[in-house]
Amino acid sequence: MKKLAPDTQEMLDSLRAAVADTLERKRRLGQYAVIWQDGKPVLIGDDAPKRDVHNQAPLSRKADR
């Protein structure tokens, strides 16, 4: 992997820490999260819907009107 500039590495480390903190907070609150795994979105957590994200029908925009 290419070595990143120090400021870029600092930004990446900050983002990773923020994501880790957010996922931990969601876990403690019992909320599910959507993460990217093996090239597709995956729902994780005890209360995560059991439906496959890829097979869901698109949401209708008519309900917003």
With H, G, I as helix, E, B as strand and everything else as coil, classify residue 62: helix
Quick: pLDDT tens for 14-62: 999 999 999 999 999 999 999 999 999 999 998 889 866 566 555 555 5
Task: Return phi, psi of residue 27, to 5°.
Answer: -65, -45
For 19-45, b where at least 16 C-beta lie within 10 A, e where not — what string? eeeeeeeeeeeeeeeeeeeeeeeeeeb
Residue 2's pLDDT is 86
Q: Is 24 helix (H, G, I), strand (E, B) or coil?
A: helix
* pTM: predicted TM-score of the whole model, two decimal places: 0.64
